[in-house]
């Protein structure tokens, strides 16, 4: 009962009913409190209900209010007998029921407003609303009193921007800082190290404009991070597949890029030479050669030397361009003769050039002709040599046969045996070769299999590595997301109101449920027992009846003849009657005991209803109404 009262009081307090602090149970509610709270409840449920908040003093008004409250309650769906008397002359049990009903109707509206979806957009809106209300309510300060356009306001001083006099653009310059100065495994060249120690200024002094420091630092970090990520991506995809170490992969990449640049430059140089006709690009050639030479040199720290040579290259190009431009400038504006001279010179030189080139072409042609004829001659010579050697061989064979002809038969036999023996030798050698060849071929096959296996294994391992990296990234992302979620939920949890101890209530409810289950079991047991006892009683009474009829008949038959048997029969009859009487009285006692219990219960419940107090109240109110009626009648009579 206390918990129910607690819950009711708590909900009533939360909707705004004014209840004294030391009111702990519904017993202590007086009529005014009851009326006020129920009016409050009805107003919260319905909205605008035309009821005064407190109980008026006039009796008739009280009566009217009571009936209207009862009507409202019935409209809301309260099943039960309710009239003005339930509010004005109340009993505890009735009030408890009514308040439980009202409070039950309440929470659905109240709870909905406190249950908000705390998503990030709502959080953002709340943030914006808070900042805005803070700024709207802060007093205005003239701009001369604000330092750099910032005003500090509030208890934990927070800043807000109210002027843009000190804004500046995001402008970043190149800044540098030492790298690896504490890492003993990396070797920094001495010159670089001394530069780091003595000449390199601190990072905050490296930019010309002081405002650029933070943007430059942020940009440098962003560039480095992007370069790192790009390198990781590239390494994951093509670097691992190439199966070189990191350093070798980088070297190979650098060489490829250098080669492409030299090729491109060479092509451009040739193209530019063809169009302009000027020849001297000695410097460029030198640079290209030296670049190609340097590229195959030892590995250096990536980037710096490469950019250095690139810069030099383009510097030379610029120089060449500048020199070309300066020679083309028309300088002879002062004297036309000089210009004519120069023109003549130029023309003469041009003619020489054309003649020289034509001669060069002719000579080229001749050289080509000669080389062609040389080739022809060489072919003829080789043909001749071949035919010579063939003829020599043929001559030798014929000479031999001629020598051997006189001793023909012997020689033929000898030759035959020589042929046989050489054929035998061939067969021997072939078999030996086979013997050698077979194991070697097996070895070759084995090694091939081994290498292909290792290749496939390496392939598998590479794929596994890729998988692992992917998983790592996924897990990292998941972890990040979960951390954010945890933060959000944590902040939500801290913000939720904890004034109603839900876990205690739930525990209590579970206890009550188990209790009820136990009680139900016990009731069932008792019922079973009762039924068993009832069955026994029935059995026994049935047995008794049968026994009695049997004995009765038995003795009655014999009673006609014998006196003692008649006496016995009479005794039997009286025994039976008295036992029946006993049984009846026992039953009646049981019935009366039950009635006593019921009456006691009724007395208790009637006692709770405070009938006496209410009766007094009613009689008092009745007297009051009578008095009011009399006064009203007097007034009417007085007026008329």
Binding site residues, other proteins, CB under 8 A = 124-133, 135-136, 138-140, 142-143, 148-151, 158-170, 177-183, 193, 196-198, 200-205, 210, 213-215, 217-218, 220-221, 224-225, 227-228
Cα–Cα distance between 449 and 455 in angstroms, integer? 10
Shortest distance (Å) from residue 141 CB to other proteins:
8
Cβ distance to other proteins smaller for residue 217 or 565: 217
What SS3 class is residue 421? helix
Cβ distance to other proteins smaller for residue 123 or 423: 123
User: 103: number of CA atoms within 13 Å, CB side?
Assistant: 20
Shortest distance (Å) from residue 137 CB to other proteins:
9
Kindly tell me the burial class for residue 270, based on how many C-beta atoms sit within 10 Å of its own C-beta (0-12, 13-18, 19 or more). exposed
Give 25-69 as a DSSP string. SGGG--HHHHHHHHHHHHHHHHS-----SS--SSHHHHHHHHHHH
Longest CA–CA span in the chain (Å) reads 194
Shortest distance (Å) from residue 139 CB to other proteins:
8
Cβ-count burial 235-244 (b if 16+ within 10 Å, e if not):
beeebbeeee
Cβ(67)–Cβ(124) under 8 Å? no
Shortest distance (Å) from residue 167 CB to other proteins:
4
Shortest distance (Å) from residue 218 CB to other proteins:
6
The first and second tokens of residue 95, run together, are 């009030």
Shortest distance (Å) from residue 343 CB to other proteins:
58
Cβ distance to other proteins smaller for residue 143 or 623: 143
- 189 DSSP 8-state letter: -
Cβ distance to other proteins smaller for residue 189 or 348: 189
Cβ distance to other proteins smaller for residue 151 or 288: 151
Cβ distance to other proteins smaller for residue 84 or 196: 196
Cα–Cα distance between 222 and 226 in angstroms, integer? 6
Cβ distance to other proteins smaller for residue 206 or 281: 206
Cβ(291)–Cβ(310) under 8 Å? no
The first and second tokens of residue 41, run together, are 């409840």
Cβ(76)–Cβ(108) under 8 Å? no
Cβ(152)–Cβ(158) under 8 Å? yes
Cβ distance to other proteins smaller for residue 173 or 203: 203
Distances (CA, A) of 27 to 8, 128, 606: 12, 49, 15
Cβ distance to other proteins smaller for residue 197 or 237: 197
Shortest distance (Å) from residue 214 CB to other proteins:
5
The enclosing H or E element of 383 equals: helix 336-404
Cβ distance to other proteins smaller for residue 117 or 402: 117
Cβ distance to other proteins smaller for residue 76 or 213: 213
Q: In 405-501, which ranges are continuous DSSP H helix?
A: 408-495
Cβ(100)–Cβ(107) under 8 Å? no
Determine the Cα angle at 42 with ends 38 and 48, to 5°: 135
Shortest distance (Å) from residue 215 CB to other proteins:
7
The first and second tokens of residue 410, run together, are 């012997």
Cβ(146)–Cβ(520) under 8 Å? no
Cβ(5)–Cβ(24) under 8 Å? yes
Cα–Cα distance between 63 and 69 in angstroms, integer? 10
Shortest distance (Å) from residue 232 CB to other proteins:
11
Cα–Cα distance between 542 and 572 in angstroms, integer? 18
Cβ distance to other proteins smaller for residue 129 or 500: 129
Shortest distance (Å) from residue 116 CB to other proteins:
12
Cβ distance to other proteins smaller for residue 202 or 493: 202
Cβ(189)–Cβ(179) under 8 Å? no
Shortest distance (Å) from residue 219 CB to other proteins:
10
Cβ distance to other proteins smaller for residue 436 or 480: 480
Cα–Cα distance between 326 and 318 in angstroms, integer? 12
Cα–Cα distance between 238 and 233 in angstroms, integer? 9
Give 124-162 as a DSSP string. HHHHHHHHHHHHHHSPP--GGGSBTTEEEETTTTEEEE-
Place of tokens 């001297």: 280
């Amino acid at each position: 009962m206390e918990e129910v009262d607690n819950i009711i009081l708590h909900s009533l307090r939360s909707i705004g009913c004014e209840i004294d602090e030391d009111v702990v149970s519904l017993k202590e509610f007086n009529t005014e409190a009851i009326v006020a709270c129920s009016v409050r409840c009805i107003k919260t449920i319905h909205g605008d209900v035309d009821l005064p908040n407190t109980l008026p003093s006039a009796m008739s008004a009280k009566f009217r209010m009571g009936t209207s409250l009862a009507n409202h309650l019935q409209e809301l769906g309260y099943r039960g007998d309710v009239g003005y008397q339930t509010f004005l002359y109340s009993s505890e049990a009735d009030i408890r029921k009514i308040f439980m009903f009202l409070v039950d109707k309440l929470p659905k509206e109240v709870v909905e407003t406190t249950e908000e979806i705390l998503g990030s957009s709502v959080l953002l809106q709340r943030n914006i609303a808070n900042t805005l209300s803070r700024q709207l309510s802060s007093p205005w300060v003239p701009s001369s009193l604000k330092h750099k356009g910032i005003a500090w306001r509030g208890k934990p001083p927070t800043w807000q921007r109210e002027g843009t006099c000190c804004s500046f653009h995001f402008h970043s310059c190149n800044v540098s800082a030492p790298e690896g100065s504490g890492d003993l495994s990396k070797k920094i060249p001495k010159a670089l190290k001394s530069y780091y120690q003595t000449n390199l200024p601190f990072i905050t002094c490296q930019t010309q404009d002081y405002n650029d420091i933070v943007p430059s630092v942020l940009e440098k970090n962003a560039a480095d991070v992007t370069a790192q990520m790009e390198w990781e991506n590239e390494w994951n995809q093509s670097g691992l597949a190439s199966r070189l170490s990191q350093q070798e992969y980088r070297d190979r990449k650098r060489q490829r890029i250098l080669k492409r640049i030299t090729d491109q430059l060479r092509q451009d140089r040739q193209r530019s030479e063809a169009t302009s006709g000027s020849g001297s690009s000695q410097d460029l050639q030198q640079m290209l050669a030296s670049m190609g030479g340097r590229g195959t040199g030892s590995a250096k720290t990536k980037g710096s030397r490469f950019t250095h040579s690139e810069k030099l290259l383009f510097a030379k190009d610029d120089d060449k361009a500048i020199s070309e431009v300066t020679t083309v400038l028309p300088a002879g504006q002062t004297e036309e003769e000089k210009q004519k001279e120069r023109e003549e010179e130029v023309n003469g030189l041009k003619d020489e050039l054309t003649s020289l080139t034509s001669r060069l072409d002719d000579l080229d042609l001749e050289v080509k002709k000669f080389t062609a004829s040389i080739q022809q001659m060489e072919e003829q010579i080789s043909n001749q040599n071949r035919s010579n050697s063939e003829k020599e061989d043929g001559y030798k064979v014929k000479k031999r046969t001629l020598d051997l002809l006189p001793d023909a038969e012997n020689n033929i036999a000898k030759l035959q045996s020589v042929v046989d023996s050489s054929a035998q030798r061939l067969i021997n050698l072939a078999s030996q070769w086979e013997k050698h060849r077979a194991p070697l071929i097996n070895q070759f096959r084995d090694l091939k299999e081994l290498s292909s296996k290792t290749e496939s294994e390496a392939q598998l391992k590479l794929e596994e590595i890729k998988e692992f990296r992917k998983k790592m990234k996924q897990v990292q992302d998941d972890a990040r997301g979960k951390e954010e979620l945890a933060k959000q939920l944590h902040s939500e949890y801290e913000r939720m109101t904890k004034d109603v101890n839900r876990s205690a209530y739930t525990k209590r409810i579970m206890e009550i449920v188990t209790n009820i289950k136990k009680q139900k079991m016990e009731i069932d047991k008792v019922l079973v027992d009762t039924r068993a006892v009832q069955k026994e009683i029935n059995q026994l009474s049935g047995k008794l009846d049968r026994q009695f009829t049997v004995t009765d008949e038995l003795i009655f038959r014999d009673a006609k003849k014998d006196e003692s048997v008649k006496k016995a029969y009479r005794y039997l009859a009286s025994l039976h009657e008295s036992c029946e009487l006993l049984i009846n009285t026992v039953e009646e006692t049981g019935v009366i005991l039950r009635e006593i219990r019921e009456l006691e219960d009724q007395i208790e419940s009637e006692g709770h209803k405070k009938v006496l107090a209410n009766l007094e109240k009613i009689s008092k109110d009745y007297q009051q109404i009578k008095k009011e009626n009399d006064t009203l009648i007097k007034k009417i009579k007085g007026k008329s």
